[in-house]
Amino acid sequence: MNDANDAILGARDAAASTARDAILGALEAAAPPAPDAIPRVGAGEMPADPTGVLRERLDQNGGTLVEADGADWLACLGDAFDVGSFTNVYCAQGDMVAGSDLGSRGVGATALDVHALAPLDLCVLRAQFAVVENGAAWHVPASPLERAAALLAQHLIVLVDASALVPTLHDAYAGIDLGGTGFGWFLCGPSKTADIEQALVLGAHGPCSMRLVLTSS
């Protein structure tokens, strides 16, 4: 009896294997041909007036471009943006405010977790470069606290060296080290949404304003 059962089971396994092989063979035969290699897009051309184009793109995004005259970029923000009146400020780097009285203060200086940053008035970051064609600045947060500060602050200032402009996103992607970057993002204006009655609202779920400041080396 055992020999008969073994024979039946063996025949069943053989039939299942044959059916499986037939199905896999049919799938392989029906597979489409391999696509041609996607051509790489070459480096873009910088426009004749990169700063002008960058300013236009930021305006479209709801942001503001500020050209700093020398190291004192704070003085270039204008009287309408009174940084000194802010109680809670997060500055990502101490050297970016050298020679000024701007630095981390309030919850920006004392917060130990992201929830404590909820009352943040201003966040100041340093971006690696900015993209002229769409006004986006590439930033890699140094910590989860810095990442949260960029999202929770009422106002955002992003500093970028005036020499660190790239013409297109293709050039931007070529300059990003994906293997060595755990998290990074493009910042291209204040928070915005048009989900409600198709009316654009700034600051709906993040910063109400963003200023991209071009600094000199």
Neighbour tally for 129: CB within 10 Å: 18
- Spatial contact of 168 and 133, defined as CB atoms under 8 Å apart: yes
Summarize pLDDT for 113-127 with one digit per residue, the tens.
Answer: 999 999 999 999 999
DSSP 114: G
We report the CATH number of the domain holding residue 97 as 3.40.50.10420
Number of domains composing the chain? 1
**Is 1 within the bounds of a domain?**
no
Q: Does residue 26 belong to any structural domain of this protein?
A: no
Residue 108 forms part of a structural domain = yes
Q: Is residue 38 part of a domain?
A: no
Q: Is 164 helix (H, G, I), strand (E, B) or coil?
A: coil
Q: Is residue 153, in this structure, part of any structural domain at all?
A: yes
* Domain annotation covers residue 22: no
In a domain, 32, yes or no: no
Structure tokens at 22: 């037939």
How much is the pTM?
A: 0.78
Tell me whether residue 54 is in a domain: yes
Q: Please give the pLDDT value at position 12.
A: 66
pLDDT tens for each residue of the chain, 217 residues long: 556 655 555 666 677 678 888 888 888 888 888 888 877 777 778 999 999 999 999 999 999 999 987 667 888 888 778 888 899 999 986 545 544 557 888 999 999 999 999 999 999 999 999 999 999 999 999 999 999 999 999 999 999 999 999 999 999 998 898 888 889 999 998 888 887 777 878 777 889 999 999 988 6
Residue 92's domain comprises: 50-215
The torsion defined by the Cα of 79, 59, 130 and 95, in degrees rounded to 10, comes to 10
- Percent of the chain past pLDDT 90, that is, above it, reads 50
Using alpha carbons only, what angle is made at residue 59 by residues 65 and 44, rounded to the nearest 5 degrees? 80
pLDDT at 46: 92
DSSP summary character for residue 81: S
Of the chain, the end-to-end C-alpha distance in Å amounts to: 89
Q: Is 75 helix (H, G, I), strand (E, B) or coil?
A: helix
